[in-house]
């Protein structure tokens, strides 16, 4: 737990013919002195990430720019919401919890069944247009390397996601329609302090996460939240628990 990225998943250390992308790595995060060893992993499920040739270019399909194209191909534009994934990634990666070095793993599982490993040190483009450009590159080349160093920042990896998750972790699924609503800061106290925590959050607009690898399914509010807000609740609770200010 808490080793280098290569220690946790040898796939991140493989070399391949990767494309250099417009992404860069932040400097290694400062470790929180008060944080115990554990750490947190996120899996974002049912993410809408699909590339198609629209006109002359390959583009990331989204409901705003490609509504006519999608209808023409008998698809429901409302299902094409990569903006939800963009917001969710920014919420996780920008969190004080990540800056404190507590984010140990981040995976995106797409609606089209592609599994992507994201390096917690990535600085994701802040504008949606540039995010789309980066994701098109990733889905075509299968890897994105930093412009300012040797790090692999995003990579398509083998499934299932469970082979990338730490042994002995508590895997918690998040859903508004879960049978129990919990106060997350109290709920995480029921887990031993150094147990790795895996949170599974939906990155889609409708429906709920349907996975068979979680230990528990909880709601963290009595209201339906955006993925970004559900993630904010998780980050806040963990930052309080780990005394990250």
Ligand X SMILES: C[S@@+](CC[C@H](N)C(=O)[O-])C[C@H]1O[C@@H](n2cnc3c(N)ncnc32)[C@H](O)[C@@H]1O
Is 182 among the residues that bind ligand X (CB under 6 A)?
no
Site membership for ligand X, residue 208 (CB under 6 A): yes
**65 vs 216, beta carbon nearer ligand X:** 216
Shortest spacing between CB 230 and ligand X, in angstroms: 4
Using rule CB under 6 A, residue 160 touches ligand X: no
**At closest approach, how far in Å is the CB of 214 from ligand X?**
11
Q: Does 224 participate in binding ligand X (rule CB under 6 A)? A: yes
By CB under 6 A, residue 69 contacts ligand X: no
Binding segment toward ligand X, per CB under 6 A, in 59-67, 68-76, 136-144, 218-226: 218-226
Of 115 and 230, which CB lies nearer to ligand X in the complex structure? 230
CB of 211 to ligand X, least distance (A): 11
Q: Taking the complex as a whole, how short is the minimal distance between the CB of residue 169 and ligand X, in angstroms?
A: 18
As measured in angstroms, the least distance from the Cβ of 142 to ligand X is: 26
Q: Which of 219, 237, 238, 244 binds ligand X (CB under 6 A)?
A: 219
DSSP string, the chain: ----HHHH-GGGG----PEE-S-EEPPPPPPPTT--S--EEEEEEEE---EEEETTEEEE--TTT-HHHHHHTT--GGG--HHHHHHHHHHHHTSHHHHTT-EEEEEEEETTS-EEEE-TTEE--SSHHHHHHHHHHHHHHSEEE-TTSS-EEEEEEPSPGGGGSPTT-EEEEE-TT-SEE--HHHHGGGS-TT--EEEEEE-SSSS----S--SEEEESSSS---HHHHHHHHHHHHHHHTT--
Residues near ligand X, by CB under 6 A: 174-176, 201-202, 204-206, 208-209, 219-221, 223-227, 230
């Amino acid at each position: 737990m808490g080793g280098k990225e290569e220690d946790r998943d040898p796939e991140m250390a493989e070399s391949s013919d990767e494309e250099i992308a417009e992404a860069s790595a932040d400097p290694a995060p400062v470790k929180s002195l008060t944080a115990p060893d554990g750490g947190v992993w996120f899996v974002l499920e049912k993410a809408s990430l699909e590339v198609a040739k629209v006109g002359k270019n390959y583009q990331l399909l989204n409901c705003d720019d490609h509504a006519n194209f999608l209808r023409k191909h008998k698809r429901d534009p409302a299902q094409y919401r990569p903006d939800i994934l963009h917001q969710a990634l920014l919420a996780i990666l920008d969190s004080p919890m990540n800056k404190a070095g507590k984010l140990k793993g981040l995976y995106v599982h797409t609606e089209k069944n592609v599994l992507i490993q994201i390096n917690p040190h990535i600085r994701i483009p802040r504008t949606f247009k540039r995010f789309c450009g980066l994701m098109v590159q990733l889905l075509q080349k299968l890897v994105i390397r930093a412009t300012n160093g040797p790090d692999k920042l995003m990579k398509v990896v083998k499934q299932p996601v469970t082979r990338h998750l730490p042994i002995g972790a508590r895997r918690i699924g998040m859903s508004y329609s879960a049978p129990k609503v919990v106060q997350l800061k109290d709920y995480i106290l029921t887990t031993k302090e150094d147990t790795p925590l895996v949170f599974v959050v939906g990155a889609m607009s409708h429906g709920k996460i349907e996975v068979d690898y979680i230990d528990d399914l909880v709601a963290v509010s009595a209201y339906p939240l955006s993925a970004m807000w559900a993630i904010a609740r998780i980050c806040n609770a963990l930052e309080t628990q780990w005394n990250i200010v």
